[in-house]
Amino acid sequence: MRFRQIMITIFLTIGTSVFSIAQADTVSDLLAIYTNQGAGPFSSEAGQSLLLSQGITKDGMVRSCTSCHGEQLNKKGKHIVTDKIIQPMAPSVNSERITDQKKVEKWFRRNCKWTFGRECTAQEKGDFLSFLKTQ
């Protein structure tokens, strides 16, 4: 029984480490891309401000990221139109967050357009990722 507990602990530790490395690599890669596009230095505080800021969409709706994700990114959110549950954004509680560069870019594109009526800039994306990785 003790051997089984040790093996489970080792497995969980390795699994958590692999996800942390994947997150770090994805964030580092994306920040490098944004820097090459002329953005930076990045600010966690500016990323938090983006989360809380309100945008006006092309159809005149006022929204913010918190409209669906909430202010506590370690908790589930809920889409304000579809009522679909959104898993926590914080990588500290959702190991699948910020591990796939294509998914990160896809959701930035969709959510920035939906929330702000435009795509986010490289600076905004870098700032937000800098904030998100601390959550």
Q: How far apart are CA 20 and CA 95, in angstroms?
A: 8
Tell me the pLDDT tens digit for each residue of 100-114. 999 999 999 999 999
Q: Indicate the pTM of the whole model.
A: 0.79
| Other CB atoms within 10 Å distance of the CB of residue 54 | 12
The residue that leads in pLDDT, 113 or 26, is 113
Measuring CA to CA, which residue among 134, 29, 44 is closest to residue 90?
A: 134
Q: For residue 3, give the 3-state DSSP assignment.
A: helix
**Does an H or E element contain 86, and which?**
strand 85-86
Measuring CA to CA, which residue among 41, 43, 36 is closest to residue 127?
A: 43
What are the Cα distances from residue 78, in Å, to 33, 87, 99, 117? 30, 9, 22, 20
Tell me the pLDDT tens digit for each residue of 54-63. 998 878 889 9
